[in-house]
Amino acid sequence: MKRTLFAFFIILTAALAACAGAKAPDQGLTTIRLPMGYVADPQYAPFYVAVDRGYFAEEGLAIEFDYSFETDGIALVGAGELPLAVVSGEQVILARAQGLPVVYVMQWWQDFPVAIAALAEAGIREPADLAGRNVGVPGFFGASYVGLVGLLSANGMTLDDIDANEIGFNQVESLLTGQSEAVVVYINNEPVQLRERGEAIDIIPVADYADLVANGILTNEKTIAENPQLVQGFINAFMRGLRDTLADPDAAYEISKKFVEGLDAGRKGVLEASLPLWGTEPLGRTDPASWVVTQNVLLEMGLLAEPLPDLDAAYTNEFVENATE
């Protein structure tokens, strides 16, 4: 089976980047179109809080949320068409291996959010219990796939030890209908849905076994060199929104309703499940050791042909360390 993480070679049109760096007409603000990699969701509450409370505006920025594919954001930032995006750490390594000069400037998610979920009756409570079991994977690409392989590797296992099947993003239905004995999930999403349905489940968090680099903020070398104040202003504002969200998640959820159409109390569990993944102090820092672990997993998977000669150039803590309170 051919397993590819993503194709970097996409056509970058002028239309895709038309609003990058543009001035908001009535406010004199610099507009940043920000690829998010997912749909509008309360897990983006720190961004919504930072916009709603004027933190980005205080830094001279206006944010246009772009809920497009993560790989689109990486390619656009790597080509210098957009200055910033929200991405997962393993994608940064793969992008630099393709020659894209991207740099990870803040680790928002301190714990890798991928996990294995199974109904309690299946008796899958630790990685060894996955041996020989049918495991549903959204696809053989992206953070879910990397997280699964990282979990197996950390426990002396490989994909050959399980029966992995591609199921798309239908983890809840696949589990409840018996199509899969276990599924690869985001710990703040599908487990929340399953518990709200009254299902007793067991969760195996990847972060308990493998310290992989999770979601954070991406820019590129050119932006850092030519417009570091834009990056610093963005990090300043987002850090304030993150701290506010951690301090008062109820208020952050109410603000999120302004940005997520049809949001009701049923999705509050997503935000509540996300908070522990963000809140490790010091906020926003990325650990060099995590990058080594992540690169090793990619090498084992065959997604990376050889180690990056400059892995430490893929990330920096400079902007987080200089962030204003």
What confidence tens digit (pLDDT) does each residue in 200-234 have?
Answer: 999 999 999 999 999 999 999 999 999 999 999 99
pLDDT at position 27 is: 63
Q: Report the predicted TM-score, pTM, of the whole model to 2 decimal places.
A: 0.88
With tokens 């505006």, the residue in question is: 57
With CA atoms as reference, report the closest residue to 91 among 102, 82, 81.
102
Q: Which two tokens stand for residue 118?
A: 């199974």
pLDDT at position 128 is: 98
With tokens 């299902």, the residue in question is: 199
pLDDT at 9 exceeding the cut of 70: no
Distance CA(241)–CA(227), nearest Å, equals 22
Distance CA(311)–CA(168), nearest Å, equals 32
**Angstrom distances, CA of residue 122 to CA of 21, 102, 175, 202:** 52, 42, 10, 9
At 14-47, the pLDDT tens digits run: 333 333 444 444 469 999 999 998 889 999 999 9
Region 106-113: what's the mean pLDDT?
96
For the chain, percent of residues with pLDDT exceeding 70: 91
Distance CA(58)–CA(80), nearest Å, equals 25
Alpha-helix residue ranges (DSSP H) falling in 25-170: 45-52, 55-58, 70-78, 89-97, 142-154
